[in-house]
A and B are shown apart, each in its own frame.
Chain A
Amino acid sequence: DTEVTQTPKHLVMGMTNKKSLKCEQHMGHRAMYWYKQKAKKPPELMFVYSYEKLSINESVPSRFSPECPNSSLLNLHLHALQPEDSALYLCASSQGGGAGHRDTQYFGPGTRLTVL
């Protein structure tokens, strides 16, 4: 089973709202990722958690706040977003946090976020 689940599937929020995106995997993977994808563009890496610790932050604005409560769960807390933050937010996981076959990334279906 290579399933990564994400909720909600769709989210519409105003610029003053606070919301959270959730990601879950039960493959025993120890690395989890957040990506942002705009239309007709490839995914852009935002954050990497390796063994539940934040290992990469790609200079993402502080209005995006990641959290890894345990090895199966990854959250992305959103606050005071801008309309240009509207995108597909993808979660991915891999067995390890380095390189190699163990680190092949498996993606979830994404949350489509619209900021009004």
Chain B
Amino acid sequence: QKEVEQDPGPLSVPEGAIVSLNCTYSNSAFQYFMWYRQYSRKGPELLMYTYSSGNKEDGRFTAQVDKSSKYISLFIRDSQPSDSATYLCAMSGNTGKLIFGQGTTLQVKP
């Protein structure tokens, strides 16, 4: 079993839809949770960072962490074609070493 599980998709939604991306994990030592967005043939771009449980909002993006369920989510409101990319969840414990999910490919259709 992988330490971090993420459905690779692809996920296709119409423009304006609410998108929900999720990861589950098995290591209870993880405390730091990140979402990266990666456009094709580019480097990952940090979108959201969350420490421990709770919600964090930044514009159209909301990150949620539920440590009791070992489950994290990224919601994108009013999705745009420019949101079409691969979304990678990543997490770390005290080592600082990032453990990535497989990435979910999102396509937002105009």
A residues with CB within 8 A of B:
2, 4, 6, 31, 40-43, 45, 48, 56, 88, 90, 94, 96-101, 103-110, 112
B34 at the interface (CB under 8 A from A): yes
29 examples of A-B residue contacts, CB within 8 angstroms:
A6-B43, A40-B8, A41-B102, A41-B103, A42-B88, A43-B100, A45-B97, A48-B97, A96-B96, A97-B96, A99-B31, A99-B92, A99-B94, A99-B95, A99-B96, A100-B32, A103-B32, A103-B92, A103-B96, A104-B32, A104-B46, A105-B46, A105-B98, A106-B46, A107-B43, A110-B41, A110-B42, A110-B43, A112-B41
Specify the main secondary structure of chain B where it touches its partner.
Answer: loop
B residues with CB within 8 A of A:
8, 31-32, 34, 36, 41-46, 49, 51, 88, 92-98, 100-103
7 closest cross-chain pairs (CB), A and B: A42-B100, A107-B43, A99-B96, A109-B43, A110-B43, A107-B44, A99-B94
Residue of B nearest to A50 (CB): B96
Residue of B nearest to A98 (CB): B96
Instruction: Please determine whether A56 and B43 come into contact, CB atoms closer than 8 angstroms.
Output: no
Assembled-state Cα–Cα distance A102/B106 (Å): 29
Which residues of chain A have C-beta atoms less than 8 A from B49's C-beta?
101, 104
Assembled-state Cα–Cα distance A97/B45 (Å): 19
CB distance from B40 to the nearest CB of A (A): 10
Instruction: Please determine whether B32 and A99 come into contact, CB atoms closer than 8 angstroms.
Output: yes
Assembled-state Cα–Cα distance A94/B92 (Å): 13
Residue of B nearest to A108 (CB): B43
CB distance from B72 to the nearest CB of A (A): 15
Which residues of chain A have C-beta atoms less than 8 A from B97's C-beta?
45, 48, 56
Assembled-state Cα–Cα distance A106/B47 (Å): 10
Which residues of chain B have C-beta atoms less than 8 A from A99's C-beta?
31-32, 92-96
CB distance from A52 to the nearest CB of B (A): 16
